[in-house]
Amino acid sequence: MGVWLNKDDYAGDLKRVILCFLIVYMAVVADTDQDFYSLLGVSKTASSREIRQAFKKLALKLHPDKNPNNPNAHSDFLKINRAYEVLKDEDLRKKYDKYGEKGLADNQEGGQYESWNYYRYDFGIYDDDPEIITLDRREFDAAVNSGELWFVNFYSAGCSHCHDLAPTWRDFAKEVDGLLRIGAVNCGDDRMLCRMKGVNSYPSLFIFRSGMDGLVNVGWMDCATQANLCTSLDITTSSTAYFPPGATLNNKEKSNVLIGKFDCSSAPNICSNLYVFQPCLAVFKGQGTKEYEIHHGKKILYDILAFAKESVHSHVTTLGPQNFPANDKEPWLVDFFAPWCPPCRALLPELRKASKHLYGQLKFGTLDCTVHEGLCNMYNIQAYPTTVVFNQSNVHEYEGHHSAEQILEFIETLTGLINVGSIDCQQYHSFCAEENVRRYPEIRFFPPKSNKAYQYQFLPQASIDLTPQAFNEKVLQGKNHWVIDFYAPWCGPCQNFAPEFELLARSGCVGTMDRLASP
C-alpha cells in the first residue's frame, strides 16, 4: 500500500533533512578545522605577549599533570602546545597565515612539553608586570634604537639566580618607571638574539642607548714629533687626559622636521583622501600627499620615535588607489600587509633599511589590505605580508626571510647583472664529474647562495605545468605515458626535487600539478 505525500509535505521534509545535514556538517568542521588562534583564544592581531599569556592560562588549566583522569588530556594539550609553538615564531606564523597547517608539513614543533610546575613558576615570568617589557628580536631592535635609555635583563627560565633576581627586578622597574625603560629577554625563546649580544651567562644585565657611539672623540699624540704642542700643554710623561668641549661649538644644521597635529573633523575630505579613518601618526616627506608613510606600530614612545627616525631618512611610501604603481615605468617593490599581522609589522622597518640602499634604483611602497581590500583582491593577495616587485609587465613575488639583507639579495638576482665564466673539463675532469656534467658544451646558471631549484627557474622549462582541465585532456584521456609530480609550493622537499624532475623531463612526457591550486 503506497503513501501519498503532497508537494508541501515533501518540500518541508527535504528542508528539514538538509538543515540537519548542515548542522552536523558545520559541527564536524568546527571540531576538526579549529584554527590555532581559536585554540589559544586570541585574535589574529595578538602580540607575542598576548599569545604567551593566553597559552600560559590554558597550560595551567589543561596540563595532563592537573587532569590525570582525563584520557584525552595529553592529546588536547599537544594541540594548544603546537598552536603556541607556531604562533610565537614569526616565520612559522606567516606560513600558517598563508597556507594553514598544510604549510607546516616540514615543521613539527610542539610534540614535547614541560611539567605543570614549569608553566606555573618559570614560563613568562615578567609577562604580568606592566613596567617590564618582554622583548623579542623585532621589538628589541626597535627599543634600543629608539633613543631612550633601556636596562635589559637577559635571563633563562631554568636559571635559579634569574628567579632570585625577579622580585628585585620588579621593584626596581616600579621605582624607575618614567625615568628609563626596563626590559627582559627570555634567552630560551630567543637564543639567537642572546648569542648576538654576547650573553653567555644568566642573568646578564645590559644598558642600551642608541647614539652613544661618537659621544666622545678619542685620539693620541706622539710627543716625539709634536714636541711644541706637548710642551704648550705641559705634558712631560706618557699620560691620558680629557679635554672638555671648548667655548666655541661648530654650528650644526638645524633639523627641518616639523611636528603638528590635524583635526580631521575640521576637513574630513583631506583625511578621507588619505584613507585615514581613525587616529594615526604619519610622516610627510616634503612632497605633500604624494609621499608619506603611516605608522602602524605600537602607540608607545620608543616605537613612535624609532618609526619617525627611520621614516624621515628612508624612502617608503604609503600607497592607495591614487598612487598605486600599476602602470609605472619605474620598478616598485610593494608590500601588501595588514596592520594586525605581527610579521607584517616586523617587515616594515626592514623595508625602510632596504629602501636606503636602493634609492634611485627601486621605489618602495606599502598597501594596507584592510583599507584597500578591492585592490588587494585584484592582485590575488591571500596572505600577509605578500611582497611583490612590479617592473612594468614583469611581476616577481618575494618569499624570503624578512630582513633587509635578504631583500637586497633578492633584488640583485632580478637586475640581470651576471658574471660569465668557463671551466675546462679536460683539465678539471674530477670537478666536472662531481657536478654531473656529461655533455659539452653545458651552460648553467649559478646565482649567489642559491639552490638548484632557483637556478633552474632561469632556464627553459621542459616539464609542463598542468591545470585540472589539461590533466584530464592530456593525461587521463591522452595516449602518451606520463610521469606526474604532485607538489605544494610550501613543501621544501618538493622544491629540492624540482631540478631532478626537470632533468627527467628532457627524456619523456612529464608534468607538474600544484595541489593547492588544484585540490
CA-CA distance, 409 to 398, in Å (whole number)?
11
Instruction: Give backbone dihedrals phi and psi of 48, rounded to 5 degrees, phi first.
Output: -60, -40
Contacts with 168 (C-beta within 8 Å, 6 or more apart), sequence order: none
| CA-closest candidate to residue 335, choices 347, 346, 323 | 347
How far out from the chain centre does Cα 257 lie?
30
pLDDT of residue 347: 87
- Decide: 307 and 300 in contact? Cβ < 8 Å: no
pLDDT of residue 31: 42
Beta-ladder partners of 467: none
Helix (H), strand (E), coil (C) string for 268-334: HHHHHHCCCCCCCCEEECCCHHHCEEECCCCCCHHHHHHHHHHHHHCCEEECCCCCCCCCCCCCEEE
pLDDT of residue 24: 47
Beta-ladder partners of 363: 332
Neighbours of 218 (CB within 10 A): 5
Q: Where are the beta strands (DSSP E) in 179-252?
A: 181-186, 204-208
- Decide: 104 and 96 in contact? Cβ < 8 Å: yes
Residue 232: CA count within 13 A, CB half-sphere:
4
What Å distances lie between residue 48 and 201, 343, 394, CA to CA? Answer: 25, 11, 37
What Å distances lie between residue 119 and 51, 63, 83, 115, 392, CA to CA? Answer: 14, 9, 16, 7, 53
- Could you tell me the maximum CA-CA distance found in the chain, to the nearest angstrom? 130
| CA-closest candidate to residue 136, choices 205, 198, 87, 90 | 90
pLDDT of residue 112: 77
- Please name each of the domains of the chain with its CATH number: 36-121 (1.10.287.110), 126-208 (3.40.30.10), 272-414 (3.40.30.10), 451-514 (3.40.30.10)
Contacts with 444 (C-beta within 8 Å, 6 or more apart), sequence order: 455
- Decide: 110 and 81 in contact? Cβ < 8 Å: yes
Full-model pTM: 0.47
Helical spans, DSSP H, in 319-378 = 342-357, 373-378
- Decide: 148 and 182 in contact? Cβ < 8 Å: no
The residue type at 469: Q
How far out from the chain centre does Cα 289 lie?
28
pLDDT of residue 368: 93
CA-CA distance, 31 to 231, in Å (whole number)?
87
Across the beta sheet with 386-391, the strand order is 316-318, 363-368, 332-337, 386-391, 394-398
In three-state secondary structure terms, 15 is helix
How far out from the chain centre does Cα 486 lie?
28
- Decide: 398 and 387 in contact? Cβ < 8 Å: yes
pLDDT of residue 302: 66
CA-CA distance, 322 to 332, in Å (whole number)?
15
- Residue by residue, pLDDT tens for the chain (519 residues) are 444 545 555 455 555 655 554 554 444 444 444 689 999 999 887 888 888 889 999 999 999 998 999 999 998 999 999 999 888 887 788 788 878 887 777 766 656 788 888 888 888 888 888 889 888 877 788 777 766 788 999 999 888 899 999 999 999 998 888 778 899 999 988 888 898 888 989 999 998 876 555 555 667 778 888 888 888 878 887 777 666 655 333 444 445 678 888 888 888 888 888 888 888 888 898 777 778 899 887 777 767 777 888 888 888 999 998 889 888 888 899 999 988 887 888 888 889 999 988 888 889 999 999 999 889 988 888 888 899 988 876 788 887 777 888 888 888 777 654 556 788 888 888 888 877 787 788 777 665 555 555 555 555 667 788 888 888 888 888 888 888 888 776 666 776 677 777 777 766 666 666 655 555
Helix (H), strand (E), coil (C) string for 492-506: HHHHHHHHHHHHHHC
pLDDT of residue 58: 93
Which cell numbers hold the place of 364? 618602495
How far out from the chain centre does Cα 107 lie?
17
CA-CA distance, 339 to 344, in Å (whole number)?
7
pLDDT of residue 244: 60
- Decide: 409 and 399 in contact? Cβ < 8 Å: no
Contacts with 172 (C-beta within 8 Å, 6 or more apart), sequence order: 182
